[in-house]
A and B are shown apart, each in its own frame.
Chain A
Amino acid sequence: MKKDLSINFYSIFKWVIIISFVLYAVFPFLWLILASLKTNAELLDDPFALPEVFQFKNYADAMEAAGLGQLIINSLVISTSATFLNILFSSMCAFAIARHTFWGKNVLFLMITAGILVPLNALIIPYFAIINFLNLYDTRLGLILVYCAVGLPVSTFILTEFFKSIPKEIEEASFLDGCNFVSRYFKIMLPLAIPGLATAGTFQFILCWNEFIYAMLLTSSTEIRTIQFGISYFTNQFFSDYVGMFAAVVISILPSITVFILFQERVITGLTAGSVKG
């Protein structure tokens, strides 16, 4: 009998802990959504009560007032192109490293992956100078290049490990059949590596979509600005329109949550692959 009690006690403890952490993680978001559907007066009056009428027009107002449409398009263009280029370049490099021997290969791999550990935010001033020097300040291309480079170490690491896990025999057979370097990459390796590409791509997309400091550093005009930097403007611009700000924040987080829910297995295996190395 005593044993049963202790089992019950432990399992109650377990659910209390799990539920409280889930609440801690999710409750603020639920409140955010609730608050974004109220009026400002209702919010100040009682932050938690349900609104009398759901104010869906807060979203329309926020879209219009802050030009969120343009910001979302900018973010989408920048994030998808940076992700595409990042995956293209890092998979090319990973293919060379994982499948061939050449002088300096190990040094190259170690150097690029060591980039994961560099606290890049220390380099904001040099980045600012380099982008200015390249004449890319306040251009989409500037941000695309920076995002593509910032994600390079992680993508190259994930993809190299993935390429290494693909059996060599298939590629060797195609080599004997006279398949050249480029078509081995495009026709053999890339199709086999789609799960790996999806993992690295999801990480990269979420990184680009969520990035804030370089967007603030390297752009200045509203035509170029991304949504993450855009929503922070709400704090100054409409300092009394809290519900509008909440609506804008909700809009800004939807894409990354959607991508995560769609590709969550890939994100989680990606995290595991990254942590295997230790």
Chain B
Amino acid sequence: MKLKKDEVVWLLIFISPAICLFFLFFILPILFLFVTSFTNWDGIGAEFVGLENYSKLLNKKSFIRAITNNLYWCVTAALITVPLALIVALLLAHRSRGWKVFRTVLFIPQVVSSAAIAMLWAAMFNAEYGLVNFLLEIIGFSDFEKYNWLGNVRTANAALIGFSLCYVGYFMVIMLAKTAGISDDYYDAANIDGATQFQKDVYITAPLIKSTFFLCIILAVIFNLRQFEYVYLMTAGGPANKTQVLVVYIWNELSVQRLGRGNAAGVIMICIGAALLLILRKLLKSETYN
């Protein structure tokens, strides 16, 4: 649509709030992050220190542990949570009676705040009154009485990953929505050929929602890279830094005023995110077209 002259002014007025906010809270912070990561900024003064922050970080065991833990979260989400979500989506795609109720209920953990979920599951794993130990005892594992899942070096990470499976519903809903667009013709043809429900799910539905499956993997990786609340509220990175993740690490640097160092960690985090996205796009794109 062609604009009159005075309407160009209005157009500028319309896009400027979004541009200002975007500049102030996306572009400026990223520039700021990069610049200060080369300084020893502590909130008061800053001096240029070159790559010192980076070399210090990369030589720190706890920081490397944070990176590997983040990758561990990403990989489990991509290889366990999303495939499980695919299975549930395929099964709910039959649209059997009550499927909408199941969809709604499975989605609920997604709309509850991470802070509340973290506190809820910390209580579930609690050694004194937690339900996990109680249920284990009921089914016969008596050795778990008063077992502290989150406080033990051996089980802390496994417990964190285990509870994160309650987010299956989110990815399931995305994939389930995609199945709604599949034409009935495919299934009619399969019925004529005498295909079973299982065959229809595996050979028709699953391949047709492949691109959404890959999208879910990308989303899962982004979410797990930026996650903070679970680790911060459930273990605070402990025991012995075993469950440390990047954002909690940055938070800790912030609380001791090592802002330059924290920002260097932020830069590394953004680079890891970009690298993961590029790798996934490459991998999954070649998959899609083959």
Contacts and interface: CB of A to CB of B under 8 A. Distances in A.
**Which of B107, B113, B251: most chain A CB closer than 10 A?**
B113
A118 to B, nearest CB: 7
Interface in B161-184: 165-166, 168-169, 173-174, 177-178
B192 interface: no
Nearest to B262: A125
B116 A228 contact: yes
A148 B30 contact: no
Interface in B90-137: 91-92, 94, 96, 102-109, 111-116, 119-124, 128-131, 134
B130 A121 contact: no
Q: Identify which of A3, A123, A252 gathers the most chain B CB atoms within 10 Å of its CB.
A: A123
A228 B270 contact: no
The B interface, classified by DSSP as helix, strand, loop or mixed, is helix
B112 A24 contact: no
Interface string B230-264: 00010000000000001100110110000100110
Chain A contact residues (Cβ within 8 angstroms of B): what range?
Answer: 35 or more
Interface residues of B, number: 92
B91 A127 contact: no
Contacts of B151: none
A125 B250 contact: yes
Contacts of B246: 122
Interface string B193-208: 0001110000000000
Given A7-B197, A100-B11, A121-B247, A44 B128 contact: yes
Interface stretch (B19-27, B61-69, B152-160): B19-27
A102 B26 CA distance: 23
Contacts of A162: none
Contacts of B289: none
A180 B7 contact: yes
A43 interface: yes
B181 to A, nearest CB: 9
A26 interface: yes
Given A123-B29, A127-B25, A256-B113, 14 more contacts: A24-B165, A25-B106, A31-B131, A121-B227, A122-B33, A130-B24, A149-B25, A171-B1, A181-B7, A232-B115, A232-B119, A257-B111, A267-B107, A278-B211
Interface of B: 1, 3, 7-8, 10-11, 14-15, 17-19, 21-22, 24-26, 28-30, 32-33, 36, 84, 87-88, 91-92, 94, 96, 102-109, 111-116, 119-124, 128-131, 134, 165-166, 168-169, 173-174, 177-178, 196-198, 211-212, 214-215, 222, 225-229, 233, 246-247, 250-251, 253-254, 259, 262-263, 265-267, 269-270, 273, 277
Interface of A: 3, 6-7, 10-11, 14, 17-18, 21-22, 24-26, 28-29, 31-32, 35, 43-44, 46-48, 88-90, 92-93, 95-97, 99-102, 108, 111-112, 115, 117-130, 145-146, 148-150, 152, 156, 168, 171-172, 175, 180-182, 185, 206, 209-213, 217, 228-229, 231-232, 234-235, 242, 245-246, 249, 252-253, 256-257, 259-261, 264, 267-269, 271-272, 275, 278
